[in-house]
Copies of this chain bind each other. A is one copy, B any other.
Amino acid sequence: MLRTPSTLLAASSEALEEVRAQRPLVHCITNAVTVNFVANTLLAVGASPAMVDVPGEAGPMAEVASAVLINIGTPAADQRVAMLEAAEACARTGRPWVLDPVAVGVLPVRTALARRLLELRPTVIRGNASEIRALAGAGAGGRGVDAAEGAEEALEAARSLAHTSGAVVAISGAVDVVTDGRDVVRIANGSALLTRITGGGCALGGMVSAFAGCHADTLEAVVAACASYAIAAELAAARAGGPGTFAVSLLDALAALTPEQVAAAGSIS
A67 to B75, CA, bound (A): 22
Given the complex, which residues of B lie within 8 Å of A33, measured CB to CB? 35-36, 39, 51
Q: Which residues of the other chain, B, contact A76 by a CB distance below 8 angstroms? A: 53-54, 76, 78
Interface members, chain A 164-212 (any B CB < 8 Å): 196-199
A248 CA / B250 CA spacing, docked (Å): 13
How far is A247 from B44 in the complex, measured between Cα atoms in Å?
12
A256 interface residue (CB < 8 Å to B):
yes
Instruction: Please give the number of chain A residues whose Cβ is less than 8 angstroms from any Cβ of chain B in the complex.
Output: 59
Beta-carbon contact of B242 and A253 below 8 Å: yes
* Chain B residue contacts of A35, Cβ below 8 A: 32-33
- Chain B residue with the shortest CB-CB distance to A249: B244
Query: Please, how many angstroms separate the alpha-carbon atoms of A184 and B189 in the complex?
Result: 51
Complex Cα spacing A63 to B60, Å? 36
Q: Digitize A3-34: 1 where CB-to-B-CB distance is under 8 Å, 0 elsewhere.
A: 00000000000000000000001000001111
Task: Output the least CB separation between A252 and chain B (Å).
Answer: 3
Do residues B78 and A244 form an inter-chain contact, with CB atoms below 8 A? Answer: no
Question: What residues of chain A have their CB less than 8 Å away from a CB belonging to chain B?
Answer: 25, 31-37, 39-40, 43-44, 48-54, 56-57, 60-61, 64, 73-78, 103, 107-110, 143-146, 196-199, 240-245, 247-256
Chain B residue at minimum C-beta to C-beta distance from A73: B51
Complex contacts, A251 vs chain B, CB 8 Å? 242-244, 247
Q: What residues on B are CB-neighbors of A25 within 8 Å?
A: 143-144
Q: In the complex, what distance in Å separates the CA atom of A76 from the CA atom of B73?
A: 17
Residues of B within 8 A of A36 (CB): 33-34, 36-37, 198-199
Contact partner of A243 among B48, B53, B244, B255, CB < 8 A? B255
CB distance from A200 to the nearest CB of B (A): 9
Which residues from B are CB-within-8-Å of A107? 52, 54, 57, 60-61
Further contacts, 15 of them, CB under 8 A, given A36-B199, A54-B77, A243-B255: A33-B51, A44-B242, A52-B103, A54-B74, A54-B107, A54-B110, A60-B107, A77-B78, A241-B252, A242-B255, A244-B247, A244-B250, A244-B252, A244-B255, A247-B248
Chain B residues whose C-beta falls within 8 Å of the C-beta of A73 in the assembled complex? 51
- Residues on B with C-beta less than 8 A from A44 are 196, 242-244
Residue in contact with A40 in the complex, picked from B78, B247, B249, CB distance below 8 Å: B247
Query: Quick check: B40 and A243 within 8 Å, CB to CB?
Result: yes
Q: How far is the CB of A22 from chain B (nearest CB, A)?
A: 13
CA distance A240 to B241 in the complex (A): 13
